């Protein structure tokens, strides 16, 4: 078997398994994936802001976390 056939078989198995799940299970999986994505993105953003603050002495002096919040 070549890699294309293996990839096709894997995708086919995933699609069959997904189709066999109930709506509730699909929703739970989708919500979990979104929660993981949001947590990772938030963590990366926080680390980026921390690095930026550490590198720039002016930002370190006048750093205000509220300036990065989105307006409602």
Distance CA 52, CA 47 (A): 9
CA gap 45, 42 in Å, rounded: 5
Q: Is residue 28 a part of any domain in this protein?
A: yes
**Structure confidence at residue 36 (pLDDT):** 97
Look at the block and give the residue holding tokens 């993981």.
Answer: 36
Whether 12 is covered by a domain: the verdict is no
pLDDT of residue 72: 66
Task: Say if 47 falls within a structural domain.
Answer: yes
Q: Which domain holds residue 54?
A: 22-72
In a domain, 60, yes or no: yes
Residues 1 and 5: their CA atoms lie apart, in Å, by 6
Q: What's the longest Cα–Cα distance across the chain?
A: 61
Provide the number of structural domains found in the chain: 1
Which pTM does this prediction carry? 0.55
Q: Is residue 8 part of a domain?
A: no
Residues 8-53 pLDDT 10s = 999 999 999 999 999 999 999 999 999 999 999 999 988 888 887 7
Residue 64: predicted pLDDT: 64
- 64 vs 28: CA distance, rounded Å: 37
Evaluate whether residue 15 is within a structural domain: no
Whether residue 5 lies inside any domain: the answer is no
């Amino acid at each position: 078997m070549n890699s294309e056939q293996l990839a096709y078989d894997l995708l086919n198995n995933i699609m069959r398994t997904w189709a066999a799940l109930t709506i509730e299970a699909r929703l739970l999986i989708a919500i979990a994936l979104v929660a993981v994505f949001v947590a990772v993105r938030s963590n990366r953003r926080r680390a980026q802001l921390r690095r930026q603050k550490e590198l720039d002495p002016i930002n370190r002096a006048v750093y205000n976390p509220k300036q990065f919040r989105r307006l409602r």
